[in-house]
């Protein structure tokens, strides 16, 4: 009996030991899992920060571009005396008389071979269904029907107020969608999950329909078609990407010209007109304000409702128009002061300045650049010479009101201050939100403009909602899309989704790894394009030319030069090597990157400038290229590049620019294919280049 009791006790002890061991194992696994998930979340967050910082830095480059155009206004006049120029096109493009006719599209023939939808106006449900099916099958709408659709949309938008007021008393729910950015799959998924636009399913789309994505035309055509079909139930707000310069930078212009080679210029011109006529805000039941970006401490909805919205075409255009007004007033004053000595001077009050009356502004940071007005004459504002400039204070107030609601972002800190990260609008705090709501009797602000990982985000105590409807915005699996449904109770209900079968098959770790890899590539490109500045800053700390600096010095240099506000110490293992002593080998930042096609005539200084400002230069060339053929003359190339280098203060002599221009005129016809030229100045990751070459070699061996 005693032995039996002892055996039972032993078994009990063994079980307790086993349970204790199991508990220890469970605790260890839990700790490991928590550390693993925390590390994964850290990677996810810094990946997100990289994407957003680079995106906003790109938008801030708009100011660099506007500064260049202002530089041109200050210094240079007519190019060859041949009509309107690139700045005139930005401010007040000369309208094609053909577009002014109500039936401008009727003379365009539609061939029998065209198998896409043939629209009839006014549109019917069968027309919108035909568009949906055609776009699902990768078909393109014929230019005739697109032009007619844009003309009809323009006519209807002219009748719309700046602020559209809706009521939930006539419908069950109102669906509110954020940025789509040319993601047709997201739009189709929203329609599939939520229903097509109709009297029973009204929608508000909150701007940024185009750019970045590859299907911007299809997205905006569907939105405009449903707007024409159901003008009382389909509502469209303007976003900051419904803007000519943004379209040049972020892809919509290129997409239009690639898909419509014959009538692309006319289509783009009509798109610009339509975008400028889009309403600025929507109010639901007098309580819910919907704007694309946000507000500021100067936002006044009553004043906003009275502005002439079509006159504010974009951020850059306003800056140029304001500068033009200043120059016009200066010229007028100068003409008036000389009228006592010349009776004919009064006739030049609104005329462009003659070359002899101008002297170029010196560029102090670039003393080695020598140029004269005659050798660098550039178009002036011929098409504006007959316009009486608007009152600057009134126009500036209108512009600021519109830019603030298109570009602003909320912040958790009280106050309102310039949004220097984006280069436009402002940051507004909870106090600014509360003040506006009290002033206008509002209870909620819905805005878009920022990509959110879950597709939406609440801030300011739940009074501000950000909604973003383009899933996989930065990279496959990077974020969900979402939309809001608002009923009579005015309580928002959120619906999330993510497009892509491949995304659903990936694990969380795989999604983070893919996004992280893409973000780090983009960040390394930023390092490469700022190589000279970074190297100069590193050498200030490396007094003995060892090629090494401390980790803290390395992080300090990167932040001071790039100004991306990133956790550089955390990112350091992905960007540089350390020595055995723990110092950073700073030149290793650039090891796994190189340039595209090498051009022998390009000096290192010129090459780096081309890498860094590649997008800006492409925009300028696209503006010069009026017929969007992809070709500009050698003389236009020389003069534009000399201006740009002078404005930037880059020490590049004229001979280097001339040699480069001649070398890239491959067929010696006096024209340059600037798209092919700029492709040579694209950052190439050496690993990608090696893998591509390996695949090419492998294919050659098979053959």
Bond prior to 122 in cis (omega within 30° of 0)? yes
Say whether pLDDT at 122 is over 80: yes
pLDDT tens digits along 235-294: 999 999 999 888 988 889 989 989 998 888 889 999 999 999 999 999 999 999 999 999
pLDDT band per the 50, 70, 90 thresholds, residue 652: low
**Torsion, Cα of 602, 608, 614, 617 (10° steps):** -70
pLDDT tens digits along 71-86: 665 655 444 443 345 5
CATH 1.10.238.10 domain span(s) along the chain:
521-593, 604-697
CA dist 55 and 60 (Å) reads: 9
Is domain 117-319+402-497 classified as CATH 3.60.21.10?
Answer: yes
Which residue, 516, 577, 456, is CA-closest to 42?
516
**CA 552-554-558 angle, 5° bins:** 115
Domain 521-593 superfamily per CATH? EF-hand (1.10.238.10)
Reported as type and span, the H/E element at residue 481 is: strand 481-486
Q: Based on the residue annotation, tell me whether 241 is a catalytic residue of this protein.
A: yes
Q: Which fold has domain 604-697?
A: Recoverin; domain 1 (1.10.238)
Q: What is the DSSP string of 314-338?
A: -HHHHHHHHHHHHHHHHHHHHHHHH
| Marked catalytic residue, from 241, 244, 263, 530 | 241
CA dist 1 and 645 (Å) reads: 101
Please state the pTM of the whole predicted model.
0.80
The percent of residues above 70 in pLDDT, for the chain, comes to: 72
pLDDT tens digits along 572-627: 999 999 999 999 999 998 887 766 555 555 666 666 777 777 777 777 777 777 66
């Amino acid at each position: 009996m005693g032995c039996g009791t002892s055996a039972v006790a032993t078994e009990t002890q063994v079980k307790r030991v086993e349970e204790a061991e199991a508990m220890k194992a469970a605790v260890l696994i839990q700790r490991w899992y928590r550390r693993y998930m925390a590390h994964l979340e850290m990677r996810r967050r810094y990946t997100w920060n990289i994407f957003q910082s680079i995106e906003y830095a790109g938008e801030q480059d708009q100011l660099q571009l506007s500064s260049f155009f202002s530089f041109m206004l200050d210094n240079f006049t007519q190019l060859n005396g041949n009509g309107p120029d690139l700045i005139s096109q930005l401010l007040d493009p000369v309208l094609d008389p053909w577009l002014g006719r109500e039936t401008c599209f009727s003379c365009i023939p539609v061939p029998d071979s065209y198998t896409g939808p043939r629209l009839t106006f006014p549109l019917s449900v069968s027309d919108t269904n035909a568009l949906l099916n055609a776009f699902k099958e990768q078909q393109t709408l014929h230019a005739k029907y697109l032009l007619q659709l844009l003309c009809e949309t323009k006519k209807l938008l002219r009748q719309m107020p700046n602020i559209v007021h809706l009521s939930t008393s006539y419908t069950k729910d109102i669906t509110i969608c954020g940025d789509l950015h040319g993601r047709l799959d997201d739009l189709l998924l929203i329609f599939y999950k939520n229903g097509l636009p109709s009297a029973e399913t009204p929608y508000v789309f909150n701007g940024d329909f185009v750019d970045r994505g590859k299907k911007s035309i299809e997205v905006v055509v569907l939105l405009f078609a449903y707007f024409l079909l159901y003008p009382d139930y389909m509502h469209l707000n303007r976003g900051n990407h419904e803007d000519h310069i943004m379209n040049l930078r972020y892809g919509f212009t290129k997409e239009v010209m690639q898909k419509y080679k014959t009538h692309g210029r006319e289509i783009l011109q009509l798109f610009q007109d339509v975008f400028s006529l889009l309403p600025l805000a929507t109010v639901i039941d007098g309580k819910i304000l919907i704007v694309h970006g946000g507000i500021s401490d100067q936002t006044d909805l009553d004043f906003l409702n009275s502005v002439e919205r079509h006159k504010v075409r974009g951020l850059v255009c306003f800056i140029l128009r304001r500068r033009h007004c200043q120059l016009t007033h200066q010229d007028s004053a100068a003409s008036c002061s000389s009228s006592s000595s010349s009776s004919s001077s009064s006739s030049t009050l609104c005329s462009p300045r003659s070359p002899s009356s101008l002297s170029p502004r010196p560029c102090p940071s670039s003393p080695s650049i020598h140029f004269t007005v005659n050798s660098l004459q550039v178009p002036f504002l011929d098409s504006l010479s007959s316009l009486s400039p608007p009152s600057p204070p009134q126009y500036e107030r209108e512009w600021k009101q519109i830019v603030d609601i298109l570009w602003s972002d909320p912040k958790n800190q009280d106050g309102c201050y310039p949004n220097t990260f984006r280069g436009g609008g402002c940051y507004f705090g909870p106090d600014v939100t509360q003040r506006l709501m009290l002033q206008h009797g509002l209870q909620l602000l819905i805005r878009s403009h920022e990509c959110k990982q879950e597709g939406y985000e609440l801030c300011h105590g739940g009074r501000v909602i950000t909604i973003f409807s383009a899933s996989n915005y930065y990279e496959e699996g990077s974020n969900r899309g979402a939309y809001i449904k608002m009923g009579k109770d005015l309580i928002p209900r959120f619906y999330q989704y993510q497009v892509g079968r491949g995304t659903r098959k990936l694990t969380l770790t795989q999604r983070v790894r893919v996004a992280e890899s893409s973000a780090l590539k983009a960040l390394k490109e930023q390092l490469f394009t700022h190589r000279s500045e970074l190297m100069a800053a590193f050498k200030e700390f490396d007094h003995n030319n060892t090629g090494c600096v401390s980790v803290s010095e390395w992080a300090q240099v990167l932040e001071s030069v790039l100004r991306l506000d990133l956790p550089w110490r955390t990112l350091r293992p992905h960007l540089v090597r350390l020595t055995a002593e723990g110092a950073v080998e700073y030149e290793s930042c650039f090891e796994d990157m190189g340039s595209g096609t090498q051009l022998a005539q390009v000096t290192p200084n010129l090459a780096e400038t081309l890498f860094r400002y590649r997008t800006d230069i492409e925009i300028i060339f696209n503006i010069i290229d009026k017929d969007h053929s992809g070709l500009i003359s050698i003389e236009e190339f020389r003069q534009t590049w000399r201006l740009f280098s002078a404005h930037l203060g880059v020490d590049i002599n004229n001979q280097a620019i001339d040699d480069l221009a001649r070398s890239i005129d491959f067929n010696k016809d006096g024209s340059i294919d600037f798209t092919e030229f700029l492709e040579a100045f694209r950052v190439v990751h050496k690993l990608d280049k090696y893998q591509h070459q390996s695949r090419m070699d492998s294919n050659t061996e098979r053959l």
